A = this chain, B = another copy of it.
Amino acid sequence: MMEATYRALCANGFASLTMQDIADEADKSTSLLHYHYDTKQDLLVAFLRYLIERFEERFEDTEDEGPEERLRGFVSRMVPDDDGEDDYDRFGLAIMELRMQAPYEDAYREQLRTNEAVIRSRLADVVRDGIEEGVFREVDPDRTARLVFDALDGARSERVTVGADEAPAEVAAALDEFVFSSLLVAEGEADEGDETE
């Protein structure tokens, strides 16, 4: 069911997504969807919940790597190297379409807020860990995480909307140049100085 929703979103986008589209992908009737979920919104909120659960599962696997690898891993997961991933863009776009409906639909907004908070705080944790381990210099982890997340998000938005395929890679490079390079403390330097800003 969730899988069918995923496929339908990739195939049709969100704005023109109908219950029929999902039903077709699942080889079921629309009536069945309404049997399990009262409204289309209910179904989609359940889908968003399903998504963030999957994200958390996948993220846990990286917890033993070093801060820098984890940071770069995060970036490269948002910037797929191979352009073969057709569904990646389609799905990313569909989710963005959905996000744009959040202000009009409380249920979406609440679930999305949760999802984004989880992602951003995982990223901030990586930065925080890096600072504690003395790999990164002292910065505001939340603010830094937000810059990284929002820049990549903006780039992705640019890519999927107007087809600026190079945008995510360019932004990743710029982040590297301006943020990550300034984040790494010089090797062999002190990992001391607990000075809260």
Query: Would A175 and B147 count as touching, CB distance under 8 A?
Result: yes
For A178, give its contact among B93, B164, B179 (CB under 8 Å).
B179
Query: Would B162 and A109 count as touching, CB distance under 8 A?
Result: yes
Least CB distance from A193 to B in Å reads 18
Query: Would B93 and A100 count as touching, CB distance under 8 A?
Result: yes
A12 to B34, CA, bound (A): 27
Using known A-B contacts A113-B162, A171-B146, A178-B182, determine if residue A104 contacts B154 with beta carbons closer than 8 Å. Answer: no
Least CB distance from A7 to B in Å reads 17
Which residues 6-27 of A have a CB within 8 angstroms of B?
13-16
A175 to B100, CA, bound (A): 25
Least CB distance from A82 to B in Å reads 20
Query: Would B150 and A171 count as touching, CB distance under 8 A?
Result: yes
Residues of B within 8 A of A153 (CB): 150, 154, 157-158
Query: What is the number of residues of chain A that contact chain B, defined by CB distance less than 8 Å?
Result: 48
Question: Is A97 interfacial (CB-CB < 8 Å)?
Answer: yes
Query: How many copies of the chain does the oligomer comprise?
Result: 2
Which residues 67-119 of A have a CB within 8 angstroms of B?
93, 96-97, 99-104, 109, 112-113, 116
Query: Would A13 and B150 count as touching, CB distance under 8 A?
Result: no
For A101, give its contact among B15, B113, B154, B174 (CB under 8 Å).
B15
A150 to B161, CA, bound (A): 13
Query: Would A161 and B15 count as touching, CB distance under 8 A?
Result: no
A142 to B177, CA, bound (A): 14
Question: Is A123 interfacial (CB-CB < 8 Å)?
Answer: no
Query: Would B143 and A170 count as touching, CB distance under 8 A?
Result: yes
Interface pairs A-B: 3 shortest CB-CB: A150-B154, A154-B154, A147-B174
